[in-house]
Amino acid sequence: MDHLLANPNFEFVRHDINEPIDLENLPELQKFKIQFQGIQEIYNLACPNSPIRFEDNVINTLLANSQAVKNLLEMAKKFESKILHFSSSVVYGPRNEDIRRIEESNPGIVDPLSKRSSYDEGKRFAETMVVNYRDFYNIDAKIIRLFRTYGPRMKLDDGNMIPDFIRDALDNKDLEVPGDENFFSSFCYVTDVVDAAVKMMDSNSKGPINIGSDVDINVFTVAKKIVQAIGSESKVKEADKHYFITPQAIPDITKSRTELGWLPIQTLDKGLELTIQDLRANKGIKSVKDTLDN
């Protein structure tokens, strides 16, 4: 975020959005004259999603998908703002091998009592809230459903697959795929997702619209690509399945193409290269900091 902090038109506000916030009365935001200028656009991406910290955050996850969404919808209603809610492919439930690519009209099947239900069912409830606020209060609310996304600036200690693979390959440790050799998924580069979000906000579409790569790839293949790109001595092996890291549906992106003019353009190989470069640098900085702290 350092490159943004130097921008006079950017202000970072640390706040728990499970609690209401009065932006126009915050001293650090006075320069934006919100009481006169209002707020034009709201992008809601706030939700815990760290696999290794999931159990510690189940209540916060529920609140992020309910109370926090309500607070932002109330803000959109107050300022007559456009709001884009980032949902997830988890609303479709577990991957169904009989469905090659899943369309937005598919209602999905989700277990409301599973270990991961605070996230999966929470995302479904959040969509319900967005749609009902939109219809009842006539606000300009939109929904996109994100599929697996990766790229620079991901945390190295959150338990997500791509950064974990890169970290372990840099350390010449074995890469552990949580599942067997039949674990397939898709991976969309972050700049493609940002492009889709901007196009969605500027469009007349309300969604939901799938945003992700429609290329189905074996996760073992992805891990091996990372090992090869780094020149690591690591091996790729199976590990115990993790209930928060599972095969997910592959998106049908027909609507994103026809309604937004959007397709993912970054290749996996190039995206991994850019991500490796960034995480390699961040890992070095973190290692130096840890050494100094000790």
The domain locations on the chain are 18-293
Three-state secondary structure call for residue 79: helix
Three-state secondary structure call for residue 101: coil
Q: Contact at 8 Å (CB) between 245 and 185? A: no
Query: What are residue 3's phi and psi, to 5 degrees?
Result: -70, -25
Residue 270's H or E segment, with its range, is helix 268-293
Residue 220's H or E segment, with its range, is helix 219-230
**What does CATH list as the number for 18-293?**
3.40.50.720
What does the pLDDT read at residue 260?
Answer: 98
CA-to-CA distance for 93 and 9, rounded, in angstroms? 40
**DSSP conformation letters of 112-152:** TTSTTHHHHHHHHHHHHHHHHHHHHH--EEEEEEE--EE-T
What does the pLDDT read at residue 151?
Answer: 97
CA-to-CA distance for 20 and 77, rounded, in angstroms? 14
Cα 214 vs. chain centroid, distance in angstroms?
16
Q: At what angle do helices 268-293 and 219-230 cross, to 10 degrees?
A: 60
Read off the amino acid at residue 262.
W
The residue ranges of the chain whose pLDDT is under 70 are: 285-294
What does the pLDDT read at residue 245?
Answer: 80
Report angle CA 19, 206, 45 to the nearest 5 degrees. Answer: 35
Structure confidence by residue, pLDDT tens digits, 273-292: 999 999 999 877 454 344 43
Read off the amino acid at residue 152.
P
What does the pLDDT read at residue 289?
Answer: 42
CA-to-CA distance for 56 and 48, rounded, in angstroms? 10
Q: Which residues are catalytic?
A: 119
Residue environment code for 38-53, b if the CB has 16+ CB neighbours within 10 A, otherwise e: ebeebbbeebbbebee
What does the pLDDT read at residue 288?
Answer: 34
What does the pLDDT read at residue 181?
Answer: 84
Q: Contact at 8 Å (CB) between 188 and 215? A: no
